[in-house]
């Protein structure tokens, strides 16, 4: 074989490998295993009852949410101004407290869809949200990024694009996510434009929108209209955005402003309390669940005041706390109890549920990170979460977006996806023919049943090391971090952008450029 | 404060720390959470029905098990000689095949206790086996040991003693285990004596016996009689021993010989198929479960032919296989499905169940090891396994006993033990007083409810790193392996042997010395 032919053959093989990688994209998990029911129905009813008491007797504070205060008042709820400050030197602040009539929020929530589709620009990659389906999205929000070569540092737009590409290349990540890291090299008031563009350009999986200001949410919607068409966007979820509530029991104008834009435009929101027990919530699972219910009921009811039928996801983010350092901890028993309980409550109410992820406190992609992550991901999947933000790449309590850990976690997600398929109960799965063929003291490798199923029988990790000790030692005894670094670099090297209509791409770029030119840089 | 006073105060503190470490020993897990029921009752019934067909139509091969063949024949089962070789040059071999009448094994199994106590020489450390209790024991059987200083190497008696000591010092390991590593510096025919002595001397937790030859099992029983008294041993489980079955569908004279000694002496056995799908069993969960049932029914029935009422544990060890290397894989979906299914079957039949553990394929205590281990341990605990061998310290598919990983896994076990306690559903746990005290926008740290529960609210790892990034980086950015190495060395440094009656200790040493002197060294 000539050198040229050998090279061509090598190139053909590489192309085949890439094609296979894209073909291997997994659909959203379709769970065929039962969910784990940790709480009795009686205790769930108790949490629901206590949440109603909380809404009636303690209520919700609205910080500068004038539209929401008016809407709740108009709808007959008890709204009181409890703080009002105006004048020089301080930001104006108005705080309303809302007390809710028993059952009113639940009544309002009846127009929420129990399940919906989030569309991707590649319609084959649209994802079902709810029911027995689970969608995995990457880490969201870290100011820092980390990889083996560069260490831990503030994120940049180049890092952001790397993470979007790695997510695109990972078969078990069904969703491109949102702020996969904060690109701090772009001014705060403009970075959402680059982020949304990067998701739409470098991936064709579904995306999340900006929530840091109402006008940035509107920019997201406007860019979606360029891609999907205005009419389609108006009636279909082309984005899902994370609305973190201001626990305990408060909502602020930033998040509510974003929620209002998205709900008005029929774009999906994840209303989600962010609860570190002992800080924003009590130190007991029932306490956390009760508070989360009250916060969810009031904010989800508000989405329906904005636009009945607008899709929203019942979200919960829970962490415990280290007694030594006060740092939030993850993959621990207490938040896992809460994931199970909140999932049960979401099912009872009939709404899609968001929680869990590749959560860990560890500062490097070591054994601690993996123990914590696996504990968290097992609970996430067995609880039956429908939308899993932070499903890959989360490190150091969410401060760090790790490129290697994204690759490591994505392998675990593919594995859990296979776990969720459950065992084969068919006659073929019962393997009675294999026993008759092999008999006592035989070996199953050559059996017809084995040969028939060998390729799909077991989860086949593309990352983890199953080589004999000696082979592995000769290769320098690489740990998982090192293996993931190699794979991550290979993926970025192999990456090819999905096709995009050049006219749409131009229109998006034009939108971004004009918006950027229309305002000075700002750091808030 | 003078230097002497300071030193004394330091010593007092160290003593206090040690005392606390021993006080912290956890009782066997008392599960207050539901088990996870993966399989429908219908599919379990199907596996049971198929197992009976297997026992009737394919049967079990006995390799040189003359006593068992006779016993099954006497009890009316169909026993056929299928191979008989005698003469020079080859080892004599007789193979019987036994076909079982439908339901006969299950009928025999009715005298098996549904739960029992395994006694420790310190009666406070005796453990309940069965029901909603879970007992964690360390890794069993590795020829290699590994620690950070010495790397991977063949185990020695000094390593064995280290691992017994580390197990003794680990609050969530309830059991001292058995062959925590193979001490290859002691001749094969004598090492069981040193191993049993080490467990009895350096720990006071329950122990496992030798199974490598019937006479070594007898030595175990004789040593237990020295410690517990002959009468007590005759009627109480003072040991639990691992009888690995020769899958597929066979039993051999070594394991059966040990089983006979233990069952005759009312010592507990774990009858346990060792099943790597695709090698010793089919590549489907239902296939593995069906075969395991047939193997368990026949061997457990045999324990009751030996001595009705002798305790036995329904065991299963299952692994999947790497398609790349043929190596067994762990913490993967397929063996986890099997753990859940076999646990359900054990409950259905009413027997204590052994499975799972800190299983992994990784060759170092890295993220791969931790992902695989956590996946496996979560399934183990949520399945409701009663006896968990290999619960800590397992590495490289069981080839390696890792001292650091034992420390790492033991921390995870303590965490899972807290997970198993479930949430607090009491009025106090509902925290309604906390909401009323803190109100919207408040902080829970100072709340009376928080202060009341702060010390026990969250699992408090003594190993994992929750320090701020900067503090951790100043300390050299230690990964979990490094932290575990530090803790492991500290534990061995702090170790103090539990008290033992000097007369008993002398008698044990005397027994070991005389036995060793009675035979030449042998390597089999």
Nearest CA in chain A to B98: A440
Residue scoring higher pLDDT (B87 or A432): A432
A40-86 confidence digits (pLDDT tens): 999 999 999 999 999 999 999 999 999 999 999 999 999 999 999 87
Question: Looking at the predicted structure, is the pLDDT value of residue B128 above 60?
Answer: yes
Longest dimension (CA), chain A: 89
Q: Nearest Cβ partner of A333 from B283, B415, B465?
A: B415
Q: What pTM does this model have? A: 0.95
Instruction: Supply the ipTM of this predicted assembly.
Output: 0.95
Q: The sheet that has B394-395: what strands, in order across it?
A: B151-154, B144-147, B400-402, B394-395
User: Quick one: pLDDT at residue A385?
Assistant: 98
Under 8 Å CB-to-CB from B370, ≥6 apart: which residues?
A: A366, A367, A368, A369, A370, A371, A374, B360, B408, B480
In chain A (524 residues long), the average pLDDT of successive 10-residue segments reads 50 46 82 98 98 98 97 98 77 93 98 98 97 98 98 98 98 98 98 98 98 98 98 98 97 96 98 96 98 98 98 98 90 97 98 98 98 98 98 98 98 98 96 96 96 93 96 98 98 96 98 98 92
Distance CA B29, CA B356 (A): 15
Mean pLDDT of chain B: 95
**How much helix, strand and coil, in percent to the nearest 5, is found in chain A?**
50, 15, 35
Q: Nearest Cβ partner of A33 from B38, B320, B378?
A: B38
Q: Using CB atoms within 10 A of its CB, is residue A339 exposed (0-12), middle (13-18) or buried (19+)?
A: buried
Q: Are the C-beta atoms of residues B368 and A462 closer than 8 Å to each other?
A: no
**Cβ contacts of B408 on chain A, cutoff 8 Å:** 367, 371
DSSP-assigned letter for residue A110? G
Verify whether the Cβ–Cβ distance A58 to B436 is below 8 Å.
yes
**In terms of residues, how long is chain A?**
524
Question: Looking at the predicted structure, is the pLDDT value of residue B185 above 80?
Answer: yes
Under 8 Å CB-to-CB from A79, ≥6 apart: which residues?
A: A69, A72, A73, A96, A97, A98
Under 8 Å CB-to-CB from A300, ≥6 apart: which residues?
A: A105, A108, A109, A112, A271, A312, A314, A351
Check CB contact of A374 with chain B, cutoff 8 Å: yes
User: Quick one: pLDDT at residue A19?
Assistant: 42
Distance from CA of B378 to the nearest CA of A (A): 7
Distance from CA of B241 to the nearest CA of A (A): 23
What is the SS3 assignment for A60? strand
B191-247 confidence digits (pLDDT tens): 999 999 999 999 999 999 999 999 999 999 999 999 999 999 999 999 999 999 999
| Residue A154: other Cβ atoms inside 10 A | 14
Verify whether the Cβ–Cβ distance B362 to A464 is below 8 Å.
yes
Q: Are the C-beta atoms of residues A242 and A211 closer than 8 Å to each other?
A: yes
Distance from CA of A348 to the nearest CA of B (A): 18
| Across B327-337, average pLDDT | 97
Q: Nearest Cβ partner of B369 from A33, A364, A367?
A: A367
What is the SS3 assignment for B273? strand
Check CB contact of B368 with chain A, cutoff 8 Å: yes
Cα angle for residues A292, A57, B447 (degrees, 5° grid): 65
Within 13 Å of residue B476, how many CA atoms lie on the same side as its CB?
5
Question: Looking at the predicted structure, is the pLDDT value of residue B12 above 90?
Answer: no
Check CB contact of B477 with chain A, cutoff 8 Å: yes
Within 13 Å of residue A502, how many CA atoms lie on the same side as its CB?
0
A199-235 confidence digits (pLDDT tens): 999 999 999 999 999 999 999 999 999 999 999 999 9
User: Quick one: pLDDT at residue A15?
Assistant: 45
When pLDDT is cut at 50, 70 and 90, the band that residue B87 belongs to is low
Distance CA B243, CA B236 (A): 19
Q: What is the DSSP string of A394-444?
A: EEGGGTEEEHHHHHHHHHHHHHHHHHTT----SHHHHTHHHHHHH-TT--S
Question: Looking at the predicted structure, is the pLDDT value of residue B328 above 80?
Answer: yes
Do the strands A250-252 and A60-63 form a parallel or antiparallel pair, or are they unpaired? Answer: parallel
Question: Looking at the predicted structure, is the pLDDT value of residue B18 above 60?
Answer: no
Cα angle for residues B83, B88, B89 (degrees, 5° grid): 85
Q: What Cα–Cα distance (Å) separates residue A395 from each residue in A181, A410, B286, B405?
A: 12, 14, 38, 22
Nearest CA in chain B to A37: B34
What is the SS3 assignment for B291? helix
Distance CA B447, CA B514 (A): 66
Q: Which B positions 251-310 lie with beta carbon below 8 A of chain A?
A: 277-287, 290-291
Distance CA B334, CA B354 (A): 17
Could you check whether the bond before residue B248 is cis, i.e. omega within 30 degrees of 0? Answer: yes
Longest dimension (CA), chain B: 89
Distance CA A356, CA A354 (A): 7
Per-domain residue ranges for chain A?
45-83+94-104, 108-420
User: Quick one: pLDDT at residue A45?
Assistant: 98
Long-range contacts of A494-503 (CB under 8 A, 24+ apart): A494/A14, A494/A17, A494/A18, A494/A21, A494/A169, A495/A165, A495/A168, A495/A169, A496/A18, A497/A201, A497/A202, A498/A122, A498/A168, A498/A202, A498/A203, A498/A204, A500/A121, A500/A200, A500/A201, A500/A204
- Residue A107's φ and ψ, nearest 5 degrees, are -65, -45
Cα Rg, chain A, nearest whole Å: 24
Check CB contact of A70 with chain B, cutoff 8 Å: no
Check CB contact of B63 with chain A, cutoff 8 Å: yes
Q: What is the DSSP string of B232-261?
A: HHHHSB--EEEEEE-SSSEEEHHHHHHHHH
Q: Nearest Cβ partner of B466 from A327, A364, A418?
A: A327
Closest among A211, A296, A228 to A262, alpha carbons compared:
A211
**Cβ contacts of A283 on chain B, cutoff 8 Å:** 431, 444, 449-450, 453-454, 457-458
Per CATH, the architecture of B108-420 is what?
Answer: Alpha-Beta Barrel (3.20)
Q: What Cα–Cα distance (Å) separates residue B453 from each residue in A281, A495, B210, B412?
A: 13, 51, 45, 22
Under 8 Å CB-to-CB from A358, ≥6 apart: which residues?
A: A139, A373, A376, A377, A390, A391, A392, A393, A394, A405, A409, A412
Cα angle for residues A25, A121, A405 (degrees, 5° grid): 45
Q: Which residues pair with B85 in a beta bridge?
A: B93
Q: What Cα–Cα distance (Å) separates residue B340 from each residue in A1, B82, B269, B377?
A: 53, 36, 21, 12
Question: Looking at the predicted structure, is the pLDDT value of residue B362 above 70?
Answer: yes
Q: Are the C-beta atoms of residues B356 and B388 closer than 8 Å to each other?
A: yes
Distance CA B176, CA B212 (A): 19
When pLDDT is cut at 50, 70 and 90, the band that residue B5 belongs to is low
Verify whether the Cβ–Cβ distance A333 to B421 is below 8 Å.
yes
Cα Rg, chain B, nearest whole Å: 24
């Amino acid at each position: 074989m000539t050198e040229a032919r050998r090279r061509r053959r090598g190139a053909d093989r590489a192309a085949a490998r890439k094609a296979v990688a894209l073909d291997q994209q997994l659909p959203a998990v379709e769970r065929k295993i039962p969910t784990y029911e940790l709480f009795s129905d009686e205790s769930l009813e108790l949490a629901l009852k206590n949440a109603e008491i909380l809404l009636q007797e303690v209520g919700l504070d609205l910080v500068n949410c004038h539209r929401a205060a008016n809407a709740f008042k108009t709808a007959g709820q008890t709204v009181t101004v409890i703080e009002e400050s105006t004048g020089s030197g301080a930001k104006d602040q108005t705080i309303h407290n809302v007390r809710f009539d028993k059952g009113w929020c639940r009544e309002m929530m009846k127009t929420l869809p129990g399940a919906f589709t989030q569309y991707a620009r590649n319609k084959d990659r649209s994802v079902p949200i709810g029911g027995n389906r689970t969608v995995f999205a990457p880490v969201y929000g870290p100011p820092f990024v980390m990889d083996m070569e560069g260490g831990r540092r503030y994120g940049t737009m180049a890092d952001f694009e790397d993470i979007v590409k790695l997510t695109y290349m990972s078969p078990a990540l069904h969703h491109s996510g949102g702020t996969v890291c904060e690109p701090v090299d772009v001014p705060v008031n403009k970075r959402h434009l680059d982020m949304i563009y990067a998701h739409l350009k470098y991936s064709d999986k579904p995306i999340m929108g900006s929530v840091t200001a109402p006008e940035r949410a509107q920019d997201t919607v406007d860019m979606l209209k360029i891609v999907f068409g205005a009419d389609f966007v108006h009636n279909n979820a082309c984005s899902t955005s994370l609305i973190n509530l201001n626990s305990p029991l408060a909502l602020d104008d930033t998040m509510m402003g974003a929620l209002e834009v998205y709900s008005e435009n029929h774009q999906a929101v994840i209303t989600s309390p962010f609860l570190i027990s002992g800080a924003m919530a009590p130190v007991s699972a029932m306490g956390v669940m009760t508070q989360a219910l009250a916060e969810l009921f009031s904010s989800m009811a508000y989405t329906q005041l904005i636009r009945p039928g607008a899709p929203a996801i019942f979200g919960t983010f829970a962490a415990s706390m280290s007694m030594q350092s006060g740092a939030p901890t993850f993959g621990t028993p207490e938040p896992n109890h809460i994931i199970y309980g909140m999932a049960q409550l979401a099912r009872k109410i009939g709404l899609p549920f968001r929680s869990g992820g590749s959560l860990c406190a560890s500062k490097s992609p070591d054994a601690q990170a993996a123990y914590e992550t696996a504990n968290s991901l097992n609970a996430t999947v067995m609880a039956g979460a429908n939308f899993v933000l932070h499903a890959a790449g989360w490190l150091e309590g969410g401060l760090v977006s790790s490129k290697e850990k994204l690759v490591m976690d994505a392998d675990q997600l593919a594995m859990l996806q296979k776990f969720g398929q459950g065992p084969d109960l068919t006659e073929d799965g019962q393997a009675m023919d294999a026993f008759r063929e092999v008999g006592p003291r035989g070996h199953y490798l050559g059996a017809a049943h084995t040969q028939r199923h060998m390729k799909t029988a077991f989860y086949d990790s593309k990352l983890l090391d199953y080589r004999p000790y000696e082979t592995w030692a000769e290769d320098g005894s690489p740990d998982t971090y090192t293996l993931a670094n190699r794979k991550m670099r290979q993926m970025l090297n192999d990456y090819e952008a999905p096709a995009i209509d050049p006219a749409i791409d131009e229109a998006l770029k034009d939108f971004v450029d004009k918006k950027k030119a229309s305002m000075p840089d700002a750091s808030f």
